[in-house]
Amino acid sequence: MKVDTMRKIDFLAGVPLCFFTTLLVKFTQIFQNPRKKQPKNILLIELSEMGSTILVDPAMQKLNNKLGANLFFVIFKKNAPSLQLLNTVPEENIFTIQEDSLVSLMSSTLGFLLWTRKNKIDSVIDLELFSRFTALLSGLCGAKNVVGYYRFHNEGLYRGEMLTHKVAYNSHIHIAKNFIALANALISSNDEIPYSKTVVSDEEISLQKVTYSDEQKASMRAKIADEFKGFDASKHRIVLINPNASELLIQRRWMPEHYITLMKMILEKYDDTLILITGAPNEYEEAAGLVKAVASNTKSTRIINFAGKLELHELPVLYSVATLMVTNDSGPGHFSSITNMPTYVIFGPETPKLYGSLGNSTPIYAGLACSPCVSASNHRKTPCEDNVCLQVIKPDFVFETIRSELG
């Protein structure tokens, strides 16, 4: 299902459904014990952003440490592999919703409502900022404690009145700290308006790192050698290029011609570099076009189309053997944060102050007066069709930025 179609459904059906579901929830609460339930089985909802499964991990770790509760997660099926990178949530505690068609969306939603009751979910945390669909899932899942962002006096989106813990979203702090605020609201023994009147320190959003064995690294190098016969780990430094971004916000994509120029500069300046273009299987043809454009101009064979060659859970192993990565503001910028690989993330419609990687990352951001142009209040839908915020970031500038790592 296309993103714009999902947005329209979320608005046209979501507003009245949130209203009537609020009435239903309020009516059923008349016959329930008003006392809050001690969290034991906590469900987190984040459907559409794979990178958020990494950014929410510090909050999940805090819930584990403070409450010792069982964690559950619901996510779109195509994004579920991102939860395997840190394995904080057991696989059997993950429910996937299929969004490829309206019929599959409705049927999997019904299955979700049965699944939550089977697993006796008592608390739910809605991590989404603007989805009415997740508000409905939260209100109908049967949980006693319902935590999420509430608009209060802001011009936010209407999502009903189903929250028991109304948290004020703070657009001036990193999203990972906002996620911790949701966890703090559930942990708190006090009633607050709004939640959460707590300080979230930088130390609280530090990520655990994943390490890999020599055998795993050797296996990854063998896969690289299968694609580039002259590869020698003792002679070649691997530079990763991730030129794509989610369909949710295509304005995040740096220009293909800029990537081509940057890759040419790297290959011409550093004879020991091997460039791997990464991406999903459906991005293979686009990556092939970039490889062809670079190779025809430089006569170099040290550039490989690696799109679709790995499963998502294998990416961190690749990152552990690479020298650096240049990427658009997308999932890989967050996936790499669980390793020590230096990552350079190019930002445009969004700001690194809110969505920057928590790892060894350097944001590249022009900071135009119109940036960031997407937020929780506009459904992350920008009117911009001319992303000058990325066009003004030139290959020369990016090359000079990464040179300190290449030496």
Amino acid at 132: R
Number of domains in the chain: 2
Mean local confidence (pLDDT), 163-178: 93
Mean local confidence (pLDDT), 193-214: 92
Assess whether 251 and 331 both reside in one domain.
yes
Which of these three, 157, 186, 205, is where a domain ends? Answer: 205
Closest to 95 (Cα-Cα) out of 112, 78, 110, 120? 112
Mean local confidence (pLDDT), 153-159: 79
Q: Provide the pLDDT confidence category of residue 34 given band limits of 50, 70 and 90.
A: low
Mean local confidence (pLDDT), 104-125: 95
d(CA 215, CA 193): 53
Q: What is the pLDDT of residue 395?
A: 97
pLDDT of 382 > 70? The answer is yes
Q: What is the pLDDT of residue 88?
A: 94
CA 76, 80, 83, 88 torsion-angle sign: positive
Assess whether 191 and 289 both reside in one domain.
no
Q: Residue 123 belongs to what domain range?
A: 3-205
Angle of the 132-140 helix axis to the 102-118 helix axis, nearest 10: 30
Cβ partners under 8 Å of residue 389, min gap 6: 348, 349, 366, 368, 370, 371, 373
Assess whether 197 and 265 both reside in one domain.
no
d(CA 61, CA 9): 34
Mean local confidence (pLDDT), 40-57: 93
Which of these three, 156, 188, 205, is where a domain ends? Answer: 205
pLDDT of 248 > 70? The answer is no
> Which residue would you say has higher pLDDT here, 114 or 155?
114
Give the chain's mean pLDDT. 91
Range name among 71-75, 250-254, 340-344 with the lowest pLDDT average: 250-254
pLDDT of 305 > 70? The answer is yes
Range name among 26-35, 39-48, 204-213, 218-227 with the lowest pLDDT average: 26-35
Mean local confidence (pLDDT), 190-201: 91
Here the CATH number for the domain that contains residue 273 is 3.40.50.2000
C-alpha angle 379/54/9, rounded to 5°?
A: 25
Assess whether 398 and 258 both reside in one domain.
yes
Neighbours of 28 (CB within 10 A): 10
The tens digit of pLDDT for each residue in 348-370 reads: 988 999 999 999 999 999 999 99
pLDDT of 37 > 90? The answer is no
Assess whether 283 and 164 both reside in one domain.
no
- Residue pointed to by tokens 């309020």: 26
Assess whether 166 and 277 both reside in one domain.
no
Assess whether 180 and 309 both reside in one domain.
no
pLDDT of 285 > 90? The answer is yes
Q: Provide the pLDDT confidence category of residue 377 given band limits of 50, 70 and 90.
A: low
Mean local confidence (pLDDT), 266-279: 95
The tens digit of pLDDT for each residue in 55-77 reads: 999 999 999 999 999 999 999 99
This prediction's pTM: 0.91
Mean local confidence (pLDDT), 266-276: 95
58, HSE (Cβ side, Cα atoms, 13 Å): 24
Cβ–Cβ under 8 Å, residues 402 and 326: yes
Instruction: Report percent pLDDT > 70 for the chain.
Output: 96
> Which residue would you say has higher pLDDT here, 326 or 298?
326
Token output for 359: 């790892």
Assess whether 155 and 301 both reside in one domain.
no
Mean local confidence (pLDDT), 135-157: 89
Assess whether 133 and 178 both reside in one domain.
yes
Assess whether 231 and 366 both reside in one domain.
yes
Assess whether 239 and 324 both reside in one domain.
yes
d(CA 344, CA 255): 16
Which of these three, 181, 205, 229, is where a domain ends? Answer: 205
Mean local confidence (pLDDT), 237-243: 96
Assess whether 136 and 270 both reside in one domain.
no
Q: What is the pLDDT of residue 1?
A: 62
Mean local confidence (pLDDT), 120-133: 92
